[in-house]
Structure 1
């Protein structure tokens, strides 16, 4: 059986609330955005796509190998952004600060270990962010960016001490995420 799979960091409630505040403030002013449900907010490390169920243990082992030298990290909410850029936003995200170099190093290690199993390395790299919404309509993008600039973002510090191998099941109400395996950071 194929399972839609990704590697992620689960977020504390306080961080999800900061993201929700931004969604609520923007939601009152802008149409055409599909907001990520609060329970689905997470910090992605690697999206794998559809994988055979019997490969989940191998994936978890690769992640364990990747984080052997990784220490517990402290990240904090700090800014907002958009992909591909602010002029043509398609994805709105909440950016993170703090031990970002450690996160990037860990993410690259995960990419390398998973590449040994045949998964492609993402050439774009991994900028730590929390996707909060996907833009469906480009009609009001400029107004949205101006509104975003005026929204203060509360800085919430949080500890990262494990990664999760997650299942994503798509249904008519959106995605449902389930933890398949957890991998603790060793140091």
Structure 2
């Protein structure tokens, strides 16, 4: 049985991706050494579902359609650097969201509720809206990276209009993940989605 690595995301517009890429370039020039996320792969992950058979992917699409059928588009301000697990141990470096973050979180929670009805096992961790910029496993580089994070911690990317979510497939390759949209569902139009 073929399994599909699947997640539900909000994709970014080209202008926003370009501004994030500029920030990545500025951080790189300042000495931050990370495995950078390619601009075309930048997104908000609402829910990672793992490796699924095709029938479960179809159920995830149905649940997503139902969840966003009555949702309305909104705007999110993308701003502020952070890191997981902590700013002083930055294994994953990200840019967060400010205004509109509560609406993005509410959307993720609603999708989780509909996925749970379809018997998907849900992660108990609270959703934290962020765009992953890059990853570091080399703690010898963290000193310089932490200094760079402090320098750019208040970076503002700008506003992004959220009007759709995408059920996405991810294939891991040595060059990095390759994402394939399975279905994009417009907020407020769950029955008029766009298969890809």
Coarse TM-score class (shorter-chain normalised): over 0.9
Please state if 1:165 is matched with 2:154: no
Change (3 A) 1:27 1:155: closer
- Aligned-pair distance for 1:123? 1.7
Task: Decide whether the 8 Å contact of 1:78 with 1:96 is kept in 2.
Answer: yes
Please state if 1:81 is matched with 2:82: yes
Task: Decide whether the 8 Å contact of 1:111 with 1:122 is kept in 2.
Answer: no
Correspondence list, 1:6-85, <5 A:
6-28=7-29, 29-31=31-33, 33-85=34-86
Q: Distance in 1 between matches of 2:49 and 2:43?
A: 15
Q: Distance in 2 between matches of 1:122 and 1:100?
A: 19
Q: Please, which moves more after superposition, 68-77 or 148-157?
A: 148-157
Instruction: Kindly tell me the number of residue pairs found equivalent between the two proteins.
Output: 186
Give CA deviations for 1:77-101 in whole Å, capped at 9, x if unaligned: 1111001111211100011122211
Q: Who is 2:96 aligned against?
A: 95
Q: Who is 2:6 aligned against?
A: 5
Q: Please, which moves more after superposition, 13-22 or 162-171?
A: 13-22
Correspondence list, 1:122-133, <5 A:
122-133=123-134
* CA RMSD in angstroms, aligned pairs only: 1.6
Task: Decide whether the 8 Å contact of 2:20 with 2:157 is kept in 1.
Answer: no
Task: Decide whether the 8 Å contact of 1:72 with 1:160 is kept in 2.
Answer: yes
Moved over 3 A (4+): none
Q: Who is 2:183 aligned against?
A: 181
Task: Decide whether the 8 Å contact of 1:18 with 1:153 is kept in 2.
Answer: no
Give CA deviations for 1:46-103 in whole Å, capped at 9, x if unaligned: 1111101122221111012222332111012111100111121110001112221111
Q: Who is 1:112 aligned against?
A: 113
Q: Which runs of 5+ in 1 are unaligned?
A: none
TM-score between both structures, scaled by the size of structure 2: 0.88
The 3-state SS of whatever aligns with 2:32 is coil
- Aligned-pair distance for 1:6? 0.5
